[in-house]
Amino acid sequence: MAKTKVLLPLAALLLAACNNLPGLQPKPFTGTLDLPSPLQTVAPGGQVQVPVRVAFNDSRVASVTLTVRLADPCAKGTSYCPGWDASRYPGVSHPTESYTLTPASPSATLTFQVDSAAPPQGPFKYELVLSGRDASGKVWEEVVPFYLRILRPGETSAMEYWNFWRDYMGYAPVREDPEWSFKAWLHGRYLAMNADRNPFGHDEDLSYPFSSPEGREAGRRGNVGGGYEVVPSSTPADQVPWPVESRLFNGWVALPFHRLGMIFPLTSAGGFGLYRDRVPYSGYSGWDLLRNVSTLPISESNNPNPASGFQLFPVPDKVVPVNPTYYYEWPSPTEPCAHPDQNPDPPYLSHPGLDWTQQPYGLPLSISMFAPGPNDTRVLQARLVRLSDGQELPVCGYGSLQFWNQDAFARDWGKSILKGYSSVFVVPRYPLDPGEAYRAEVRAVFGGTEKTFIWSFRVAPQDDLFPLRLSP
């Protein structure tokens, strides 16, 4: 009891002292958006109204000034961005005047106008800046973030497709974190602007133009994909054949290494950023260049998804709506199969001697064990049978211990992904048939656990398959 009487006064004194620190001084005013989300979507040619409201927490503050600025490394001068218009985001006009807000008139509505020729992309990030002085004359600044994504009318966003796949897996949806989406857009711009340097997609060289710590963070944590289209320069913007976000996203689910993060059960928040631009192409009419990134911050708190057991893809007894007949992925998921003699721990080949150097291949299967830590894995045996005629398809199966690539960096990267997700892959040598049902049998080792899996799934009919656009 005596100890309690001493500790309580000490705690009270410490709290009182902390409350007097300058950094913890209550803000004389705060700002909010009268919107359901700080991330808004608009179509080319449209506009967004953004109501901003100030709460005056100190009655002695007479007014605050509201301005808008780009939250962009190019605009802030923290990134070298040659040729970039730092006064506005491409295709969007934002308010450039200032607004005076008072206790009697505490709100203003900002208008963001999108050009009709603006390519769908984003999100862009703006800082809505509130500045004013308190009773002592000290200057305060409150920054409210606002994000703007351009999306064509009727187009389904990548985040909606992400949650389609979450529902397919039987998991809770992923919520979009707009800050991560903006960082992903920054990384996409970096990749597009440095395409001639062939930059590594999962990182940024901070000596390159358009690089930033924010974009580098997105690259290191996310999936990366991209490509380009060449079209006549006279083509109206609304007729440019931009690949839709669904195709870009579904391509990641079709590819085994990129799939694992997208369907990881404990993912609860993430972002999708897409950079698109039209740039001249010498000797032709135009070069439409795009890059895109998805980031995957992980949150495990209060997540209802499973934390033990195994995850199978395709899901047992369900129809899978992707079936690529061509794909490219780094690290290559087929190089271990093409060069088994180069691998000291070769993959399992159901039909040894087949040529695995030529496309197309079938939709890869994956099995992951939910475990508290990484586990080395190995495939001991695998079969894939078409149920309509009992035909066994040639497959190649491997885990982290069996993965191989002639490039040491790609080999280490692939091994680390398979081990980190405690996963194995089984790749069919030939494309699966739309509308057909298959039975898979896989015997594999996960750490010290040997398991056998037998399950069936069906490939959607051709008309029900998601369209895929996968570019190297």
**DSSP per-residue letters across 136-201:** T--EEEEEEEEEEEE--TTPPPHHHHHHHHHHHHT-PPPEE-HHHHHHHHHHHHHHHHTGGG---T
Consecutive H or E run containing 109: strand 107-114
Looking at the chain, how many residues does it have? 472
Report, as an integer, the average pLDDT of 343-349. 95
What does the pLDDT read at residue 438?
Answer: 98
Instruction: Tell me the β-bridge partners of 254.
Output: none
Q: Which amino acid is at 336?
A: P
Structure-model confidence comparison of residues 10 and 124, the more confident one: 124
Kindly provide the residue ranges of all beta strands, DSSP E only, lying in 321-436, ordered along the sequence. 348-349, 365-370, 377-386, 391-393, 395-398, 423-428
Give the confidence band of 12 by pLDDT, cuts at 50, 70, 90.
Answer: very low
Predicted confidence at residue 307, as pLDDT, reads 75
What per-residue confidence (pLDDT) applies to 267? 87
| pLDDT higher at 14 or 409 | 409
Q: Write the CA distances from 43 to 153, 155, 192, integer angstroms.
A: 6, 10, 23
The fold of 27-150 is: Immunoglobulin-like (2.60.40)
Q: Is there a common fold for 27-150 and 156-305?
A: no
Q: Which of 16-20, 305-309, 339-343 has the highest mean pLDDT?
A: 339-343
Nearest 5°: the CA angle 317, 320, 325 is 135
> Is 3.30.310.10 the CATH number for 308-472?
no
- Other C-beta atoms closer than 10 Å to the C-beta of 7 total 10
Q: Would you give the end-to-end CA distance of the chain in angstroms?
A: 71
Residue type, 394: P
Q: Are 382 and 395 in contact (CB under 8 A)?
A: yes
Answer whether residue 235 shows pLDDT above 80: no
Query: What is the C-alpha to C-alpha distance for residues 285 and 381, in angstroms, rounded to an integer?
Result: 52
Q: Which of 94-98, 153-157, 214-218 has the lowest mean pLDDT?
A: 153-157
**Half-sphere exposure of residue 340: CA atoms within 13 angstroms, side-chain side:** 15
What value does the CA radius of gyration of the chain take, rounded to a whole number of Å? 26
Cα gap 123→148, rounded to integer Å:
5
The residue extents of the domains of the chain are 27-150, 156-305, 308-472
- Of 205-209, 290-294, 393-397, least confident by mean pLDDT is 290-294
Backbone phi and psi for residue 108, each to the nearest 5 degrees, phi listed first: -150, 155
The answer to whether the CB of 202 falls within 8 A of the CB of 184 is: no
> Where do the H-state alpha helices sit in 23-157?
73-76
pLDDT for 454: 98
CA proximity to 80, closest of 169, 232, 206: 206
Is the pLDDT assigned to residue 25 strictly greater than 80?
no
* Chain centroid offset of residue 116 CA: 27
What is the three-class DSSP state of 465?
Answer: coil
- Out of 3.40.50, 3.40.33, 3.90.1720, 3.30.300, select the CATH number for domain 156-305: 3.40.33
Q: What is the mean pLDDT of the chain?
A: 86
Q: What is the share, in percent, of the chain residues with pLDDT greater than 90?
A: 64
Residue 20: Cβ within 10 Å count:
8
Residue 154: predicted pLDDT? 80
Q: Is 22 helix (H, G, I), strand (E, B) or coil?
A: helix
Sign, CA dihedral 202-206-207-210, equals: positive
- DSSP letter at 354 equals -
SS3 content of the chain, % helix, strand, coil (to 5): 25, 30, 45
Q: Is the pLDDT of residue 276 over 90?
A: no
The pair of structure tokens assigned to 124 is 């862009």
Specify the pLDDT at position 412. Answer: 97
Q: For residues 71 and 80, what is the distance between their CA atoms, to the nearest angstrom?
A: 15
φ, ψ of residue 300 in degrees (nearest 5): -105, -5
pLDDT above 80 (res 13): no
Query: What's the pLDDT at 182?
Result: 96
Question: What sign does the dihedral 195-196-198-202 (CA atoms) show?
Answer: negative
Task: Tell me: pLDDT of 16 over 50.
Answer: no
Which pLDDT score is estimated for 447?
Answer: 95
pLDDT at 280: 55
For residue 106, what are the β-bridge partners? none
Name the pLDDT band for 120 (thresholds 50, 70, 90).
confident
Lowest mean pLDDT of 95-104, 204-213, 219-228, name the range: 219-228
Banded pLDDT at 248 (limits 50, 70, 90): confident
Residue 63 has pLDDT above 70, yes or no: yes
pLDDT-based confidence at residue 298 (cuts at 50, 70, 90): low
C-beta atoms surrounding 269 within 10 Å: 14
How much of the chain exceeds pLDDT 70, in percent? 83
**10 Å Cβ neighbour count for 80?**
14
pLDDT value for 10: 35
Is the pLDDT at 193 greater than 50? The verdict is yes
Considering all CA atoms of the chain, what is the largest pairwise distance in Å, rounded to the nearest integer?
88
DSSP-assigned letter for residue 16: H
